Structure 1
């Protein structure tokens, strides 16, 4: 039979093409087209068969529904851009509310929070939100002028930066600072910079300026903080007795006061004992060898009858006749008379009876170690020489271990944002 009179079923190229297209979707498209062209080289090819194996138009692929590989047909599906955007919008950071972002940023450490602040303008505003900067620890930060200036603008309430170095501070804020607790102990700070900070404080309750050079301007500014509860001015200098008297008159809520070892004369000591309020329960007035007299102690007992802890160490003018005066303090629990060398050892044996509430007694330098056992036997309820350092109004425990948890506390609480070296 001639080739042009053969039936369609007997055409070899056409039969092969049909079987290939009916198989899996993985058959190569180019090979299929080549086989299809070779098989359709005759004039008797039906129109239905051509339409059946012709490639579908694009609009047919776009309107196809259901599974893409259904019925062994490979269909190209393209998702519209509008649909893709609406799907991804649910996890976009831009669509999260500020409250949720602030909750996330709350768990970031200080360095990471600063990195986040440079992402965009919105994140910069959120990163410096007042709620995130409630408490900040900048201990160990050198040249902290710019950093401290920025922290003060955030509305910080608890600021800890002892043993830090501040060369200058250009704080331009006009409103009052929100600081309630602040520790600047043993830092290197110019008096002018310290004045710039303290003069904007009206809400101080806990303050430590131990070892700093002060001025009358600073003391007068402290007088505008009526809620002051604990004040540590140990080792400070540079202020007058009248300014000190005015401050204690205004700050009538002070409970703990450490004003030991300042550059005081007799007038300074009298300004303290003549103006302290009855709210004082813990007082460190040590270090005034030739300035603190028995008359000062008498006045102190009358003005502050609720004292529980009293440190009069290194007051060389005090003798045993001060014991009957101190015995009027009915709530006295802790008494420090270290290096008060005019107090004789024999007078110490009756302290257990003179002070029935006494629990702690520090007499370093008065009793030799060999005599301590016999003295402890006379006063079995009293713990002797257990506190070599005073903790009155100090933000960090005096007996802390370097690197321990308490080493970075401030009045028994840690700051959330902490600078790490």
Structure 2
């Protein structure tokens, strides 16, 4: 019986075979042997020792503490290990100045006698020995861990002088090799000064603008999310002079944001602009700088369009093809006194007051297209009587029962600078209109397609119009009569243009340009 464990011994005869293979490998033999250290409980800095062990160290005394201090001063490795242990146990750091107190507890005579008897005894005693009364230690003042930089020999860059460092003397006396064993390695992050890590801070806003002007609008929006400076620079007016948002769905607040960036050439053909929420909440920026606005076949409500045009006072060319209008919208159009080109093809809602306001106010108008707008008789009369004499290109096709020879006479007399005139599908015109047109001095293009009340022979009188260069007569004459007209009007090109280009923003193959200005990057 050894320490409560019973040992069993069995007898074996020599004749019986040996169960242990003597020819086994040395690795197998080593594996079978268990060292006493492996059976021991692994001791560390955490937790309490096993209950079956009792430490028979003597209690602390001034002499013992003095000896420990000397060992700490002479052995740098022991000193650093002690600091690590204190850090591990969350004890108070020893670097602070404390009040001097006698930490040595009084020792009873029997305790002194017991300590003297245990000096030569083993560290491990049996469980029958009386338990040793451990010294009660004060708990740490805080649960914060001791910074490793205070324990290790790693010092910050901005440290004091070498003589002021309490660990410098111990570091000098450290034996060679211990420094690397107990050195705490840290990767120091060098913080660069503000602005040194951003090369764009070396560039002025003007240089950034010259770089950003080569980027498309979608990339500009992404660049504006980098930082505040990029957001400010990308919103500069020079980067948003022209913009194409055709064939898209656009929220009203998005339209307001785009207009606030100073767009000058703006294409919104076939774009669907949603109504604001609530309906009466519209805040377009004051002084919109748009000069060329294409809203052809755009889906937009009348209140939104009226509010948009109410803030546009610098329009030079405007297209509202196939967009519903009313008197208020026509009045807002009339406020753009610098307007030179106006396309109202297939627009509905143009009344007498609206036409009167536009014809009277737009004195600088050069091109006007009001074809197929279902103009009434009084509306047509307001147009021909008040239209500016500066007009050069006019298309009033589709006035089937409202435009007559008298209106043509008033028009030719009031507008002597007419160069292109389209009177197609005006079925009330007669051969008298041909005689009136021959009195014009500058007409180069004339369209009389599907004017069925004009005799075919009357077209031969157009030879008196010396300035005429092109004549369209679609749906009127046969091929034989057409050959006769070509022979009589040798210098005139007949039926060369299938569609009218008066005041149209996009003509020919330039599908992304409006009135000759490119809208895409």
Common topology (TM > 0.5): yes
Residue 171 of structure 1, CA deviation: 4.2
Between stretches 147-156 and 360-369, larger displacement belongs to 147-156
Residue 144 of structure 1, CA deviation: 4.3
Equivalent residue for 2:340?
229
**2 CA distance for matches of 1:152 and 1:310?**
35
User: Of 202, 207, 215, which aligns to 1:108?
Assistant: 215
Equivalent residue for 2:371?
260
Closer, same or farther: CA 126–282 of 1 in aligned 2, 3 Å = same
Pair 1:378-2:488 in alignment = yes
Equivalent residue for 2:514?
410
User: Of 297, 317, 321, which aligns to 1:186?
Assistant: 297
Residue 134 of structure 1, CA deviation: 0.9
Matches within 5 A, 1:222-301: 222-301=333-412
User: Of 180, 187, 203, which aligns to 1:96?
Assistant: 203
Where 1:122 maps in the other structure, the secondary structure is: helix
Closer, same or farther: CA 338–414 of 1 in aligned 2, 3 Å = same
| Aligned residues between the structures | 331
Equivalent residue for 1:148?
255
**2 CA distance for matches of 1:91 and 1:146?**
34
Residue 91 of structure 1, CA deviation: 6.9
1:274-314: CA deviation from partner (whole Å, max 9, x where unpaired): 11011001000110000001111111011101101000000
Residue 172 of structure 1, CA deviation: 1.1
Residue 174 of structure 1, CA deviation: 5.0
Equivalent residue for 1:346?
457
- Cα RMSD (Å) of the superposition? 2.1
Calculate the TM-score normalised by the size of structure 1.
0.75
**2 CA distance for matches of 1:336 and 1:392?**
12
Pair 1:160-2:270 in alignment = no
Calculate the TM-score normalised by the size of structure 2.
0.61
**2 CA distance for matches of 1:173 and 1:161?**
16
Matches within 5 A, 1:62-73: none
1:111-157: CA deviation from partner (whole Å, max 9, x where unpaired): 11111111111111111111111111101212343432211111211
Matches within 5 A, 1:21-100: 89=196, 92-100=199-207
Equivalent residue for 2:28?
none
Equivalent residue for 2:230?
123
Closer, same or farther: CA 104–174 of 1 in aligned 2, 3 Å = closer
1:136-192: CA deviation from partner (whole Å, max 9, x where unpaired): 110121234343221111121111110111122454135221111100001111111
**2 CA distance for matches of 1:327 and 1:156?**
44
**2 CA distance for matches of 1:335 and 1:314?**
13
For structure 2, the 5+ residue unaligned runs are 1-188
**2 CA distance for matches of 1:166 and 1:370?**
51
1:348-397: CA deviation from partner (whole Å, max 9, x where unpaired): 12322x21110000010111234322221111100000011000000011
**2 CA distance for matches of 1:161 and 1:173?**
16
**1 CA distance for matches of 2:267 and 2:425?**
30
Equivalent residue for 1:356?
466
Where 1:292 maps in the other structure, the secondary structure is: coil
Pair 1:392-2:502 in alignment = yes
Hey, which of these two has a bigger chunk of helix by percent?
1
1:79-138: CA deviation from partner (whole Å, max 9, x where unpaired): x969x869x949711231111111111111011111111111111111111111111110
**2 CA distance for matches of 1:186 and 1:201?**
19
Where 1:350 maps in the other structure, the secondary structure is: helix
Pair 1:176-2:176 in alignment = no
Residue 239 of structure 1, CA deviation: 3.1
1:212-262: CA deviation from partner (whole Å, max 9, x where unpaired): 001111111111111110000111112321221122111100001101110
Contact 2:359 2:383 in 1 (8 A): yes
Equivalent residue for 1:302?
413
Between stretches 169-178 and 182-191, larger displacement belongs to 169-178
1:41-97: CA deviation from partner (whole Å, max 9, x where unpaired): xxxxxxxxxxxxxxxxxxxxxxxxxxxxxxxxxxxxxxx969x869x9497112311
**1 CA distance for matches of 2:239 and 2:488?**
55
Where 2:249 maps in the other structure, the secondary structure is: coil
1:296-355: CA deviation from partner (whole Å, max 9, x where unpaired): 111101110110100000000001111121112100100000000011111112322x21
Where 1:386 maps in the other structure, the secondary structure is: coil
**1 CA distance for matches of 2:316 and 2:362?**
10
Equivalent residue for 1:365?
475
Equivalent residue for 1:217?
328
Where 2:243 maps in the other structure, the secondary structure is: strand
Where 1:371 maps in the other structure, the secondary structure is: helix
Contact 2:365 2:391 in 1 (8 A): yes
